[in-house]
A and B are shown apart, each in its own frame.
Chain A
């Protein structure tokens, strides 16, 4: 069997970027949450917020560290597997990616150290300021990445001379049509990820009756936030969809599983899309639903895949199902937020065991939803790497053979499996240790020293929690 270097390169990139993305999407949300906690501590002087801030900062440190480690690989993937794309687009993509690295550099050099190790060295206000800057830095980092991705989805601001992109207008190229929607959608997703993880962890502590008062506060505050953010995210996502309708109709048609352009298109709840048939083998839907959602009229015209040559259609079923997974999880998040509101009457929010168990499970949901969402937008763009301009086949490294890609793909899977296992295992240990009292001796060892993110925690990797603090 011949191994296709293009397909394998796509798989490899999908794998390493999905694996990497898990960490930043969490740290972006968590950084803002920590800044909020430290801000509340400054404003109220109540040291519950500081204790919570300390607890979540330790978790932040480990996740940030894993994000950095897995991110190193990303800096090289473009060149190893997609060298023709880089040669084509470097004039724009190069500075964007470099600015991202510079941002991360700057962040790590300046404020991360103060946030992680300066708790007793600087005043609470300065510590809060550092937390705020780290939170801001994570967004600036995301900004550059999403600018690059949005340009690949809806390219603008450049002209192509001698087969190479030249930037004509930096502002047009950076702020493309899809960028504002993608950025808002992703920022909100990061908040939801942080929020649901915090709720899940708080629920875990409440179920075990540990540090109940502190985690009640954390849960209550976060549930209020989620009550606002989950519907807001649905609205932003909808706007993002309308933007896709305008600029990437093929992707939208695949998301809706709609093969024929026309009015009165149903909103499909379930279907079996078949590219060979160029139709759905079966479908269950709400009549006129898609037309109503997308065009606000029952006879609104919705673009179908018939407008796209078969060779330029994305793999419809992957986009179709990924989209439904994302939306279903979003609905579930809204449902949990609303149920949480109802349970507040009589304080059942903190005692209802089924709800707390549910929240624990829900802490996984944003990771799945974000992954599914990226599958929609990335697979929905195929066969284009740069939408309408450069297909995957032209972008891949010419000297690559299928065997080379397969070997490194297996290698990356193996490396990441070990790292991920060790990292998650360790994270669970950190969580289980809980809100330890701010221990004077170990704190003082670290306070004046800039060090690596991981050294912000002292939880042993193996053995019991109370022993071996090295």
Chain B
């Protein structure tokens, strides 16, 4: 056990879990937010069918992340959840409504419009709450002796509202490029028309957050401006992705557009991580401060190393099985 930095291994596992969740649940939450704006009910059917086989598998990453934090970095769990108390509730309520609406919408006729609303509303609330979490994370948390001491709404500030809306628009962009990839005809054209508008929105938030963040926290500012590092490649890569999305979408290269959107998220996420590394509960605690006992981290690691590859393989396989376009009137139901 001495040979490995277990905390570092766990930090990587959880970081991977979080980005897996963001990327995979991101596009299906995004579709949910786009739902009310769809041109017609056929389009909504296509949208739902395009994510029907995979969405709940996507959400299991969130549960794994929550449980993994308790085991590997309990301090993160015990400070973040109390600090984000109301936000976490809203996110869970949103996810529950959306999940149930998903199931029952297909099975209903008269009440379908209610399930449509629950699906869209739940998706929006969950995405917004997650975006606020990102903002709250950049802001840092008020603690004393490893305990959260701030108020119930510290997570809701102008800055976090901006990041909340930013993630909403980001998820919508993911959802739109996904839909272009998975649909055809008028649904695809509608989604394709959305991409540049959403891209402008994402870039606007990206710019404001980037300019605002150094004002929020001196540590972040120092990380980016004190020694001009290779880390500047990250926002540069993100911007290249954005340009790529615009061009790919224009030329109808739907696969590239979607992959580049994933790239945009990935580089932004990495940029966020390097802003705070190695702090996991900014501004106070590093990942080593927050770690559980090495024997506990090791005990769980055995199971995770066994199961994670299987889950990843299965996930890849189910996306492969469901590859290709979804047509109007055709579904998995």
The answer on a CB contact under 8 Å between A94 and B70 is yes
Q: Is A232 at the interface (CB under 8 A from chain B)?
A: no
CA A164 – CA B291 in complex, angstroms? 12
- Complex interface: stretch among B179-187, B238-246, B303-311: B303-311
The answer on a CB contact under 8 Å between A76 and B300 is no
| Chain A residues in 8 Å Cβ range of B75 | 87
Q: A461-B108, A462-B109 are in contact. Are A80 and B296 (CB under 8 A)?
A: no
The answer on a CB contact under 8 Å between A87 and B332 is no
The answer on a CB contact under 8 Å between B296 and A99 is no
CA A445 – CA B104 in complex, angstroms? 19
A-contacting residues, B108-125, CB 8 Å: 108-111
Partner of B310, one of A84, A109, A460: A109
| Chain B residues in 8 Å Cβ range of A100 | 67
| Chain B residues in 8 Å Cβ range of A90 | 70-71, 74, 77-78, 292, 296
Mark interface residues in B81-108 (1 if CB within 8 Å of A CB, else 0): 1110110110011011101100110111
Q: Is B64 at the interface (CB under 8 A from chain A)?
A: yes
| Chain B residues in 8 Å Cβ range of A110 | 310, 314
Mark interface residues in B61-77 (1 if CB within 8 Å of A CB, else 0): 01110111111101101
Look across to chain A and name the residue whose beta carbon is closest to the beta carbon of B61: A105
| Chain A residues in 8 Å Cβ range of B106 | 455, 470
B-contacting residues, A371-397, CB 8 Å: 397
Partner of B110, one of A94, A108, A407, A463: A463
- Complex interface: stretch among B131-139, B147-155, B220-228, B264-272: B147-155
Q: Is A72 at the interface (CB under 8 A from chain B)?
A: yes
Q: Is A235 at the interface (CB under 8 A from chain B)?
A: no
- A92, A450, A459, A467: most-surrounded residue (chain B CB, <10 A): A450
Partner of A87, one of B53, B74, B304: B74
The answer on a CB contact under 8 Å between A450 and B53 is yes
CA A99 – CA B72 in complex, angstroms? 12
The answer on a CB contact under 8 Å between A86 and B74 is yes
The answer on a CB contact under 8 Å between B60 and A105 is yes
Look across to chain A and name the residue whose beta carbon is closest to the beta carbon of B322: A449
- A94, A170, A461, A468: most-surrounded residue (chain B CB, <10 A): A94
| Chain A residues in 8 Å Cβ range of B331 | 470
Q: Is A141 at the interface (CB under 8 A from chain B)?
A: no
Mark interface residues in B35-64 (1 if CB within 8 Å of A CB, else 0): 000000000000000001101110110111
Q: Is B200 at the interface (CB under 8 A from chain A)?
A: no
Look across to chain A and name the residue whose beta carbon is closest to the beta carbon of B78: A83
- Complex interface: stretch among A118-126, A354-362, A398-406: A398-406
Q: Is A91 at the interface (CB under 8 A from chain B)?
A: yes
B-contacting residues, A83-138, CB 8 Å: 83-84, 86-87, 90-95, 97-102, 104-106, 108-110
Prevailing SS type, chain B contact patch: helix
Q: Is B251 at the interface (CB under 8 A from chain A)?
A: no
The answer on a CB contact under 8 Å between B67 and A98 is yes
CA A8 – CA B57 in complex, angstroms? 33
Q: Is A75 at the interface (CB under 8 A from chain B)?
A: yes
| Chain B residues in 8 Å Cβ range of A445 | 332-333
Closest CB-CB distance, B212 to chain A, in whole Å?
Answer: 26
The answer on a CB contact under 8 Å between A404 and B321 is no
CA A167 – CA B106 in complex, angstroms? 48
Q: Is B4 at the interface (CB under 8 A from chain A)?
A: no
Q: A90-B70, A398-B147 are in contact. Are A108 and B85 (CB under 8 A)?
A: no
The answer on a CB contact under 8 Å between A108 and B60 is yes
Partner of B82, one of A79, A164, A411, A454: A79
The answer on a CB contact under 8 Å between A72 and B82 is no
Q: A94-B296, A99-B303 are in contact. Are A460 and B108 (CB under 8 A)?
A: yes
Q: Is B146 at the interface (CB under 8 A from chain A)?
A: yes
Closest CB-CB distance, A41 to chain B, in whole Å?
Answer: 26
Closest CB-CB distance, B272 to chain A, in whole Å?
Answer: 21
CA A72 – CA B25 in complex, angstroms? 15
Q: Is A78 at the interface (CB under 8 A from chain B)?
A: yes
CA A454 – CA B82 in complex, angstroms? 33
Q: A86-B70, A399-B149, A450-B318 are in contact. Are A72 and B64 (CB under 8 A)?
A: no
Q: A97-B71, A108-B57, A426-B104 are in contact. Are A102 and B64 (CB under 8 A)?
A: yes
Partner of A419, one of B60, B96, B315: B96
Closest CB-CB distance, B126 to chain A, in whole Å?
Answer: 11
Partner of B332, one of A78, A411, A412, A449: A449
The answer on a CB contact under 8 Å between B88 and A80 is yes
Q: Is B295 at the interface (CB under 8 A from chain A)?
A: yes
CA A400 – CA B147 in complex, angstroms? 11
Look across to chain B and name the residue whose beta carbon is closest to the beta carbon of A454: B103
Look across to chain A and name the residue whose beta carbon is closest to the beta carbon of B330: A445
28 inter-chain pairs at a CB distance below 8 angstroms, sorted by A residue, are: A72-B62, A72-B95, A75-B63, A79-B66, A79-B78, A80-B85, A86-B70, A87-B146, A90-B71, A90-B292, A94-B300, A98-B303, A105-B311, A108-B60, A167-B295, A167-B296, A167-B299, A397-B81, A404-B85, A411-B93, A419-B96, A449-B321, A451-B332, A452-B56, A460-B108, A460-B109, A461-B104, A462-B109
Given pairs A445-B332, A451-B52, 11 additional interface contacts (CB within 8 A)? A69-B96, A72-B92, A76-B88, A80-B81, A104-B60, A170-B299, A400-B85, A449-B53, A455-B332, A455-B333, A463-B108
Chain A residues at the B interface, C-beta cutoff of 8 Å: 65, 68-73, 75-76, 78-80, 83-84, 86-87, 90-95, 97-102, 104-106, 108-110, 164, 166-167, 170, 397-401, 403-404, 407-408, 411-412, 415, 418-419, 422-423, 426, 445-446, 448-452, 454-455, 458-463, 467-468, 470
